[in-house]
Structure 1
Amino acid sequence: MTISVQKMAIRVGRRSTSPSTGGFEADMFSLPIDNQQRANEISQEGCPQDIPQAKKLKTRSEIELDAWASWKYPSEFWDRLSKVELTRRALEELDRRTKTRRPPPTHTATTPGDLARFARYGDPNLCDLRGYPEPRRDRPTSPTLPTSATNKSSKSTTPYNRNFDQHLTDYQIYPSYSSQKPDLTHIRIALAAPRPSLSPSQFSDSTFEAFEEDNARAKDEADILANVILTILGTRNHSHLSARNTAFGNLEHLTDGTITLAKPDIYYGAYPAQLTQSSREKLSRHIVPSTTQDKPITPNFFVEVKGPDGSAAAAARQARYDGAIGSRAMHSLQNYSKDEPVYDNNAYTFSSTYHDGTLKLYAHHLTEPTTEGGRPEYHVTQTDTWGLTGNIDIFRHGTTAFRNARDLAKRHRYRFIEDANNKTRPDNDASFNAVADHADASQRSAGPGFEDPPASSTLSFSAIQTRAERLIKQSNSLLSSLANNHRGKNRSRFSILKQLNAAKDGPRAESLG
């Protein structure tokens, strides 16, 4: 029995003999380990680890969110907020300032010599006490609140931060719940005007179903802009100039410069050649948004869209910011060459947001400053909201209002441009007149929107007024000529009747005689 056990052990030992171990017992206990290593080698040979895996491409919304998340806000932005919301960014700023504070002084034992020196040099140093005012210096410093000069990587804040909302309010760019409400009676009437392109004969149920499917399939903001928003915009019309994803880097800052530049998804404006060069140069910082000079100027209609995972609150902040910029542009153009600015409390700028099938439309206007030398106040009013994916009737109502608002914004824009041109346009400027006539002809032929609009909306107010005066003069001259002819005919008719009467009376007188 002992011999058979030893033989069995020898067989197992031979099978498990490893060059790295010299003993029999080590070989026996290393048997499971060798099998596991051999299995690992087989698995590694079957599934090589060095083959690179394809990287997942990020969508546009993910890239934008990563970009916003990497932004760092300057200290001035936090210092100037009247109220700081408790957000992750605010806590990070508090931690940064806590780390940069001056370390507390170390206290040592006091000796009689220190007391004598303290009495000789006067008052104690109380700057380490909390709440003690800083002594006046020739150059202001703030050891506890370092400025952006110490933070080299600081950048502007964005609409994705809740403190962006408070920043706009601090600079009199109010949200809808605290804005003054303008008279929207005429605007609502204009928005409700029917559109031929959205009638049942031209916009079918199958087109609406395709819109619903595109909206359901959209994964991010890029899909919304490429496939969904086009149905709302309508057929492309080159007479209505627009641009996309343009940073407004040429404009004067609307606040203090600590927030990011406005960059609407879509904005509408006028051709630069429609406004005289002198007017463009004087108003450039208010009406020319981009450093690319051939992009649209005098923007007053904006579109902001978000993907299914986007933030509706961020879209509302962007629309509020865009509308304030457009209101300032219209106000500067309206008051061009005037000694005192006029505030008529009318809305000449519009913006819209689209998120998850919901379309919102806003009207923007500004009012005069409440204090002498203060800043104008900017207000936003929501005109209406539509769930476009609900049914085709609501889609028609919402899209009709959207396109009518776009046309209304264009009429206001062109009217202010023509008024400014009448103040500065030289009579003998043949080149400018040719460009203006060409723009006016293209406007009359193609209309102001992305589709064929009503004929009454194809001309600006000044052009309609000029044509009406011309028609009145022609009508007056025609009426005067008709009156002269009528008087002449009456005189000739009277003479003929007189002669006939004389001829009749002649024989009667002879018979009586």
Structure 2
Amino acid sequence: PRSKRPKLGQHEQPQSYHQFVTNVPEYLGICNPRVLEDIKKFARGGGPDLSDLRNCPAPTSSPPVAMSSSKSTFLSGRRSSGTTITARTSSAYDRDFCQKLVDGGVYTAGYRDPITGEASKHPTNHKELREVLARPRESASPSTSEFEAYWQADVDARKEKQVSESIVPLIEGKIPDGRCRSGDILFNNLKPLTESNDLKSAKPDIYYGARPEQIHKSTRHDLGGYIVPSTESDLPVAPNFFFAVKGPDGSPAVAERQATYESALGARAMHKLQSYGKEKHSYDGKAHTLSATYCQGTLKLYTSHVEAPGQPGGPPSYHMTKLRSVAMDDSIESYKEGTRTYRNARDWCKKERDEMIREANQR
């Protein structure tokens, strides 16, 4: 007769199901609640008798503690057959995200060096960009009724989705090429922005880039991890304009952190195109990437540019600078200014992007 498999104990699991953690706090953080309760009861009773361990030398390393592979995956973010647990990745909604950006050489608007007190570097074309955004345009001349429709939509919006559906189209106006615009897409094809690789993949609300076929196939292949953001390869590539949107309850700080991260990825993409085929990297000190945020009636515009490494062989740094801020819900004049500023920024980014691509294709 076929022998029966021995029954597992109350808290046992098959050996093949186990991986390992290397310290007690990790184990207590993921163990079965019933096991944790047993441990607490045991501790309240005084714990084990350790009298026979007196004068014993301390162990040089902690023995591994078994845990289930599914819980190991939860902690590490990926399944692994070894004992290494990777660092936790963060998004713009996490409290440590901003510090991880700074540690990785990505500086938010207004950042100052803690030792020298120097402010983060402005792009050399900062003044020029402010002039570009102020240029008049016929498409940004709303009537009183159009402003009232915007104002009412802004008042009625209770969620981010409502802002995206009813307000963003009014700000954007006519989109020149729908194939160059996308959003809510995970940037899962890009190389990590920082050396520590502890940032989650970006997922912009809205971004603008080029059609893939605008860039030679060989160039897309060579620079794929920097300019092709998604594994869905027919989506816009080489993005350099980003728009983060929040609802009335949304956080302007989160929107700015999103913009910082996303526009740094865009600045890197432009830098890679600009340097493609050259013997040395190009660091011109100019911004070729812009980002915008909209939260609670206020539109903000930022630049992002790349600076050369501080030491030979080191990574470059990315600097975000505030460019404009407009309270669009204040008056018809401010609404007109906001739509003009946004559309001029978007059009300027397209011009910069197309020029970078044209030059890269010629090399």
Q: TM-score range by the shorter chain?
A: 0.7 to 0.9
Distance 1:422 1:313, change over 3 A: same
Q: CA deviation at 1:384?
A: 1.3
* Alignment partner, residue 158 of structure 1: 91
Distance 1:242 1:294, change over 3 A: same
Q: SS of the counterpart of 1:330?
A: helix
Q: CA deviation at 1:372?
A: 2.0
Q: CA deviation at 1:364?
A: 0.3
* Alignment partner, residue 198 of structure 1: 140
Q: SS of the counterpart of 2:158?
A: coil
Q: Distance in 1 between matches of 2:236 and 2:310?
A: 32
Q: CA deviation at 1:354?
A: 0.5
Matched, 1:228 2:156: no
More strand by share: 2
> What amino acid is the match of 1:125?
P
Q: CA deviation at 1:198?
A: 1.9
Distance 1:314 1:239, change over 3 A: closer
Q: Distance in 1 between matches of 2:199 and 2:245?
A: 20
Q: CA deviation at 1:289?
A: 0.6
Q: CA deviation at 1:151?
A: 2.9
* Alignment partner, residue 35 of structure 1: none
Higher RCO by CA contacts (8 Å cutoff, separation 6 or greater): 2
Q: Distance in 1 between matches of 2:265 and 2:148?
A: 36
Matched, 1:96 2:32: no
Q: Distance in 2 between matches of 1:377 and 1:271?
A: 28
Residues 183 and 204, structure 2, Cα contact 8 Å, conserved in 1? yes
> What amino acid is the match of 1:224?
V
* Alignment partner, residue 258 of structure 2: 318
Q: SS of the counterpart of 1:207?
A: helix
Q: CA deviation at 1:96?
A: 3.1
Q: SS of the counterpart of 1:400?
A: helix
Distance 1:239 1:150, change over 3 A: closer
Structure with bigger gyration radius: 1
* 2:199 counterpart (228, 236, 259): 259
Q: Distance in 2 between matches of 1:413 and 1:166?
A: 30
Matched, 1:210 2:111: no
Q: Distance in 2 between matches of 1:182 and 1:385?
A: 18
Q: CA deviation at 1:258?
A: 3.1
Q: Distance in 2 between matches of 1:204 and 1:150?
A: 58
Q: Distance in 2 between matches of 1:238 and 1:419?
A: 21
Q: CA deviation at 1:197?
A: 1.4
Q: SS of the counterpart of 1:211?
A: helix
**Sequence identity percentage:** 38
Residues 210 and 239, structure 2, Cα contact 8 Å, conserved in 1? yes
* 2:297 counterpart (357, 367, 373): 357
Q: CA deviation at 1:143?
A: 6.8
* Alignment partner, residue 117 of structure 2: none
Matched, 1:188 2:121: no
Q: CA deviation at 1:240?
A: 6.8
> What amino acid is the match of 2:193?
L
Q: SS of the counterpart of 1:151?
A: helix
> What amino acid is the match of 2:228?
V
Residues 30 and 71, structure 2, Cα contact 8 Å, conserved in 1? no
Distance 1:149 1:367, change over 3 A: farther
Q: Distance in 1 between matches of 2:333 and 2:239?
A: 30
The alignment yields a C-alpha RMSD, in angstroms, of 2.8
Residues 179 and 236, structure 2, Cα contact 8 Å, conserved in 1? no
Q: CA deviation at 1:157?
A: 2.5
Alignment map for 1:228-377 (pairs within 5 Å): 228-238=167-177, 241-255=180-194, 256-377=196-317
Q: Distance in 2 between matches of 1:289 and 1:259?
A: 15
Q: CA deviation at 1:317?
A: 0.7
* Alignment partner, residue 171 of structure 1: 104
Q: Distance in 1 between matches of 2:131 and 2:70?
A: 53
Q: CA deviation at 1:339?
A: 1.1
> What amino acid is the match of 2:292?
S
Q: Can you give the 5+ residue segments of structure 2 that lack an aligned partner in the other structure?
A: 1-20, 78-88, 112-119
Q: CA deviation at 1:93?
A: 8.3
Deviations for 1:458-498, whole angstroms, at most 9, x for unmatched residues?
xxxxxxxxxxxxxxxxxxxxxxxxxxxxxxxxxxxxxxxxx
Q: TM-score, normalised by structure 1?
A: 0.55
Distance 1:94 1:303, change over 3 A: farther
Q: Distance in 2 between matches of 1:273 and 1:420?
A: 13
Q: Distance in 2 between matches of 1:171 and 1:280?
A: 26
> What amino acid is the match of 1:281?
H
**Aligned length, in residue pairs:** 304
Q: Distance in 1 between matches of 2:26 and 2:295?
A: 31
Q: Can you give the 5+ residue segments of structure 1 that lack an aligned partner in the other structure?
A: 1-74, 76-91, 119-123, 128-133, 136-140, 424-513
More helix by share: 1
Q: SS of the counterpart of 1:260?
A: coil
Deviations for 1:20-66, whole angstroms, at most 9, x for unmatched residues?
xxxxxxxxxxxxxxxxxxxxxxxxxxxxxxxxxxxxxxxxxxxxxxx
Q: Distance in 1 between matches of 2:140 and 2:26?
A: 52
> What amino acid is the match of 1:152?
T
Runs of 4 or more, structure 1, over 6 Å off, are 92-95, 97-100, 141-144
Distance 1:400 1:93, change over 3 A: farther
Q: TM-score, normalised by structure 2?
A: 0.77
